[in-house]
Amino acid sequence: MTPAMKDYREVMQQLSFLPDLYLVGGAVRDILFGREPEDLDFATSAPPEETLRLAKAHGLEAVPTGLEHGTVTVLIEHHPFEVTTFRRDVETYGRRAKVAWGRSIHEDLARRDFTIGAIAMSAKGEVVDPFDGQRDYEAGLIRAVGDPRQRFREDYLRVIRAGRFAARYGFSIEAQTLEAAREAAPAVLSHVAVERVTAELDKAFKDPTPSRFLRYLYDLEILQRLIPEFEDTHLLLQNPRWHPEGDVFTHVLEVVDRAPPPYRWHALLHDIGKKDTAKWKEEGWYSFHRHEEVGSRLIPRIARDLRLSSALRDELVVTTALHMVPAFTKPTPQAVRAFQAKAGPHLTALEALCRADAGNRRPPEAWKFFEPQPIPIHPLLQGRHLIARGHQPGPEFGRILQAAYEHQLETGETDLEKLYRVGVEGVKGR
């Protein structure tokens, strides 16, 4: 367990006042097979109002975070733990399924998506596994609980989760479950909020090899529906001199796997402009002239569609636009200063992307673009310096600063008086 995660046995002991208490879901699976659980979720036969009452009676803070779903969050030493009442389906129609409080843990487990997550553990350590989830885990299979078509109709996000679990554990998807997923795939994005899909991608990007998950989404044509620029990128052959891996999509998957987890969105989208710039060469492959510029212009729309944060969007615009510079530009002091000025606060992300993109195919001098510079990259001549010299803010004010900054980047000049003179002369010369 990490320092932030309390031991499940200790938590169950502190929640032992709840009737028929079980640890449920992925935590049980992870504990049984020697993995560290990410979250501890519990189930009880007590209705949510009773859970609230009992928790407070035992001196614990409890918050009704989802009463309509039977969920109460209990705080133990400031750690939140979800406790949900056993549920059973009355009617199923996607995310708005009508449920009633269940009478047993077996009823509750029957509602879950995949067998490896339909396992429970009592406070005494007794394992309840009515759908042979342990057997499927040992066999390396992702299998739906019951009828896979029904499971996916209940919540189409499960189509995506099947691929994510298979990729995370290196498992295969059981044949009938995979067939049902393919049948359901065309309806996924019309039934699932995009925020939920993006959250699954965020989770997958923390795993060692998210490429397996992305390949699954691509094979089911979900990725192309989510980001149309990926359509047919497996057909776009690249110059084998630089890309022995072959097509654009395969290259993107390799870059995603090589990138550190915080920069996998950057890796996924870095070549998003290649489809729109592809030109066939008689040598037998495509060129993609200025794909980085086209891609950077696509990023705001893609980020909006995927509900990415504005901070991530802004960084993706920069990293996509600049990722080819170290590959084709000589790292002169002037070029390095200009590059780092454009990268701004995103230089770390850009270096991570470039290293993942390059693999072992860049000459050592390419990495000079990311070395600390002896001369400041930020503008040395500031507005306050102009005001002190009698200038009033206005259009000319900004032009002086810009001319001075361009000169600073070009020459490495650091003397304020010289920068000021260059700025004034530059404006007069226009």
Residues 352-382: tens digit of each pLDDT: 999 999 877 888 889 999 999 887 788 888 8
Q: How far is CA 21 from the centre of its chain?
A: 33
195 to 202, 306, 307: CA distances (angstroms): 10, 7, 6
Cα-Cα-Cα-Cα dihedral of 362, 363, 369, 371, to 10°? 110
pLDDT given at position 392: 84
Residues 48 and 70: beta-carbon distance below 8 Å = yes
Between the two ends of the chain, the Cα-to-Cα distance in Å is 65
Phi then psi for 84, rounded to 5 degrees? -120, 140
Longest Cα separation, the chain: 84
Question: What rounded mean pLDDT belongs to the chain?
Answer: 91
Q: For each of the chain's 430 residues, which pLDDT tens digit applies?
A: 443 456 888 999 999 999 999 999 889 998 998 888 878 999 999 999 999 999 999 999 999 987 778 899 999 988 999 999 998 765 555 555 556 787 899 999 998 999 999 999 998 889 999 999 999 999 999 999 999 999 999 999 999 999 999 999 999 999 999 999 999 999 999 999 999 999 999 999 999 999 999 999 999 999 999 999 999 999 999 999 889 999 999 999 999 999 999 999 999 999 999 999 999 999 999 999 999 999 999 999 999 999 999 999 999 999 999 999 999 899 999 999 999 999 999 999 999 999 999 877 888 889 999 999 887 788 888 888 888 888 888 888 888 888 878 887 888 888 788 887 877 787 776 6
Partners of 101 in the β-ladder: 87
Model-level pTM?
0.86
Q: What is the pLDDT of residue 1?
A: 40
What local confidence, expressed as pLDDT, does residue 96 receive? 55
For 125, residues 6+ apart whose C-beta sits below 8 A from its C-beta are: none
Q: What is the pLDDT of residue 97?
A: 55
Chain mean position to CA 116: 23
Question: What's residue 22's pLDDT?
Answer: 96
Supply the pLDDT for residue 341. Answer: 93
For the record, the structure tokens of 148 come out as: 């896979």
Q: Are 39 and 31 in contact (CB under 8 A)?
A: no
Between the CA of residue 405 and those of 144, 294, 377, 382, 414, what are the distances in Å? 61, 27, 9, 9, 10
The pLDDT score that the predictor gives to residue 385 is 85
* Burial of residue 47, with CB atoms counted within 10 A of its CB: 0-12 exposed, 13-18 middle, 19 or more buried: middle
- What are the tokens at 390? 């009698």
What six digits make up the tokens of 256?
Answer: 């995603």
As a three-state string, the secondary structure of the chain is: CCCCCCCHHHHHHHCCCCCCCEEECHHHHHHHCCCCCCCCEEEECCCHHHHHHHHHHCCCEEEEEEHHHCEEEEEECCEEEEEEECEEEEECECECCEEEECCCHHHHHCCCCEHHHCCEEECCCCEECCCCHHHHHHHCEECECCCHHHHHHHCCHHHHHHHHHHHHHCCEECHHHHHHHHHHHHHHHHHCCHHHHHHHHHHHCCCCCCHHHHHHHHHCCHHHHHCHHHCCHHHCECCCCCCCCCEHHHHHHHHHHHCCHHHHHHHHHCCCCHHHHCEEECCCEEECCCHHHHHHHHHHHHHHHHCCCHHHHHHHHHHHHHCCHHHHCCCCHHHHHHHHHHHHHHHHHHHHHHHHHHCCCCCHHHHHHHCCCCCCCCCCCCHHHHHHCCCCCCHHHHHHHHHHHHHHHHHCCCCHHHHHHHHHHHHHCC
Determine the Cα–Cα distance for residues 92 and 188; give it in Å rounded to an integer.
16
Dist. CA 347–CA 266, nearest whole Å? 13
What's the pLDDT score for residue 91?
54
Query: Following CA atoms 162, 256, 4, 29 in sequence, which dihedral angle do they give, to the nearest 10 degrees?
Result: 30
| Per-residue model confidence (pLDDT) at position 292 | 97
